[in-house]
Structure 1
């Protein structure tokens, strides 16, 4: 049953950054879904060696981009309805620097290309053939355009009925988003995905849209999203959460409010899932989702954990 909008819900995502009653010190990193555990391991290698958060969030999600057991990120992902895998990614620093790529083909690490857009061009977003040409220009190798065995099998099964219908909490739209803070207090985030399985060719979700799937402001905090991208875009989800934190909300409260906004706009709640993560500049963090089933990985010097987020529906 849908709770009334006036209700106050406390998520398992901790609103105050504590562990065993003690405040968690920087650095720390948080990422979406269980595949965030391996991504966080790589990010933590960098952070624990006094590396910077931008390198950590790039290198962390690169692990997921090549994970053969993840079907929603990277070239091993489920294809669109034409049988083609297209990729979206974004990266952002606390000073407002950002870069993104969308509708990208044949590139193993779209997150690295997104960082190149940020650091080497006057633009924020490159798409399609232009993004691929830029990758070639920067010396990135084009991968053979062949579906992975698992994706090929799934696609052949899908073609029997060729009906598009997202299934919540199944890896056809489970982006990895990663946000964090390093020992100097700098913040950054990354987001990368192969998008909705069996989407229309050319569809782009929230992941490469700065302010939708990812937003970072070093004076306030950072947020990222996962789930059905169209619903995140409609409310500018990540930007909304950061602005709510700017107004004094905790990360947990901000994630809950963003879910309420998404629910108010949704026309098909039964089949819609969104999960939000947020962290503020003090290192307090929060998480919340529409439906049960969203989890996130958290890593700091005291503990590494996979946490089930609280949700609007129970």
Structure 2
């Protein structure tokens, strides 16, 4: 028996620490995913997920989330949902539905209300300051408003050989109302099959959706590629294709595990981090870089970890 759980970005560390406790105690991969993602959603200093997520151009926090059961291939997803806590839990509930498993906007909110999910104003004072400062910078300095799109995505394997995946994000900062990226889209932001493995992505959803990156990684693992080989191949080929066809590729990063608990990671950026925990590895943060289509990673130093949290929790004031 073996278990594993992997996630995008350092922000998932505390959630992974709790999720792996469930896996150690023979808990399900689905429960581990939901618990771990909820911890990220509830932490107000992570400005790209859940409570404290940065708003769209109208000053509204619109959240996307998805859940997938690798045994049944059941999927649940919400997009553009407002004023509800923990969209990952709503997505998981939707995965139990045969029909209507992907709901958006007012329809997602109505479903959440009827099923007793907690209402909450997800726009924090801190996020408002970020929003106002960026508006000013956009006008005065000509900076792009599209910043802060670090989706939390996770894949888990439990001791019963069942797998699950989940994602959650507030999407592009200052996005158009109703904009939905890859995170809630099966095959792009996430995909998992307990007989093969699972993958999840983070970055610029508009580009990730052009390659269906998560499904492609699982497909490659089915063909015999190791998770690392599959991740590198999927990311580098999509990156090269986008540059060839469109002259530019947005940020693309992925993490994956197979049904043996072996993991892989790939990125086309310089500052991607991920968290992994298995029956052999205690929860640990790695920092990645890409060179010539191959991803390498190293354990995050204490200095790096300290700087990460200091930057995200530093006091803010209007500029």
Shorter-chain TM-score bucket reads 0.7 to 0.9
Match of 2:309 in 1: none
1:128 to 76, 80, 105: 105
Work out the CA distance in 2 between the residues paired with 1:103 and 1:280: 31
Work out the CA distance in 1 between the residues paired with 2:62 and 2:247: 26
Work out the CA distance in 2 between the residues paired with 1:68 and 1:197: 15
Work out the CA distance in 1 between the residues paired with 2:50 and 2:80: 12
Work out the CA distance in 2 between the residues paired with 1:166 and 1:282: 41
Match of 1:14 in 2: none
Compare the two structures and name the one with the higher helix fraction.
Answer: 2
Report 1 or 2 for greater relative contact order, CA contacts < 8 Å, sequence distance ≥ 6: 1
Query: When the two structures are superposed, what TM-score results if normalisation uses the length of structure 2?
Result: 0.85
1:294 matches 2:238:
no
- Let me know the Cα RMSD of the aligned residues: 1.8
Match of 1:75 in 2: 51
Displacement after TM superposition at 1:141 (Å): 2.5
* 3-state secondary structure, aligned to 2:106: helix
Change in Cα spacing, 1:144 to 1:283, as seen in structure 2 (3 Å) is closer
Write out aligned runs for 1:47-196 (5 A). 47-94=23-70, 95-120=72-97, 122-144=99-121, 147-160=123-136, 161=138, 165=144, 172-196=148-172
Work out the CA distance in 2 between the residues paired with 1:166 and 1:231: 17
Q: Deviations over 1:56-101 (max 9, x none)?
A: 0011100000101100000311101110000000011112111100
2:259 to 281, 291, 296: 281
Change in Cα spacing, 1:277 to 1:139, as seen in structure 2 (3 Å) is same
Displacement after TM superposition at 1:310 (Å): 3.6
Work out the CA distance in 1 between the residues paired with 2:75 and 2:279: 28
Work out the CA distance in 2 between the residues paired with 1:131 and 1:268: 37
The answer to whether the 8 A contact 1:232-1:274 is kept is: yes
Write out aligned runs for 1:246-261 (5 A). 246-261=222-237
Work out the CA distance in 2 between the residues paired with 1:297 and 1:144: 29
Work out the CA distance in 2 between the residues paired with 1:246 and 1:164: 43
Work out the CA distance in 2 between the residues paired with 1:177 and 1:120: 22
Unmatched tracts of structure 1, length 5 or more: 1-24
Change in Cα spacing, 1:152 to 1:91, as seen in structure 2 (3 Å) is same
Displacement after TM superposition at 1:164 (Å): 7.0
Q: Deviations over 1:128-163 (max 9, x none)?
A: 000000000001132136x21221111111222356
Match of 2:284 in 1: 305
Work out the CA distance in 2 between the residues paired with 1:307 and 1:141: 34
Q: Deviations over 1:183-202 (max 9, x none)?
A: 11111110100001011111
Work out the CA distance in 1 between the residues paired with 2:47 and 2:210: 25
Work out the CA distance in 2 between the residues paired with 1:269 and 1:152: 31
Displacement after TM superposition at 1:29 (Å): 0.6
The number of residues matched between the two structures is 285
Match of 2:315 in 1: none
Work out the CA distance in 1 between the residues paired with 2:64 and 2:94: 13
Work out the CA distance in 1 between the residues paired with 2:247 and 2:203: 14
The answer to whether the 8 A contact 1:61-1:192 is kept is: yes
Work out the CA distance in 2 between the residues paired with 1:144 and 1:180: 30
